[in-house]
Amino acid sequence: MYPPHLAPESGIGYFFSYWGGESLYFSHYENETTNDILQKIGTPCIIEAKLPLNGMHGTTMALIFVKEYMSFHQLTGNASDNYETELLIDLAASDVIEIVEFPDKKFVDLSGCQKWDRSLISGKS
């Protein structure tokens, strides 16, 4: 749970470049026909949402609580601010705060895509 730009291009670039993200690009990114089609379907978006604690994967939540405990007690250690998690329940529409679409400036700032080798902005693939 961190700003997307902290993830490297190798971690999020394909996700934002191909409709369907990881579920599709591994099978198609080297195929000229399907690659071009998949890159033209949909719009890359970053969704800001309130995530219910009871719906997150347990290991991630344990790490978050350890970090908060350490912070509250002013302890130093190796707890990271950066977490990835899996939401195990459906997210209610009322929990969505904002949907930011490419090429909105906020999307560019949040994703850091202007610094990628495979830029969404320039259309390079």
* Chain segment 43-89, per-residue pLDDT in tens: 888 999 988 777 777 666 677 777 777 778 877 766 555 667 778 88
User: Mean of the pLDDT values across residues 23-50?
Assistant: 78
Domain residues of the chain, as ranges? 1-50+96-125, 52-90
Q: Dihedral, CA atoms, 38, 44, 45, 51, nearest 10 degrees?
A: 50
Q: Is the pLDDT of residue 102 over 80?
A: yes
User: What are the structure tokens assigned to 22, written together?
Assistant: 């990881």
The pLDDT score that the predictor gives to residue 106 is 95
pTM of the shown model: 0.67
CB 45 within 8 A of CB 97: no
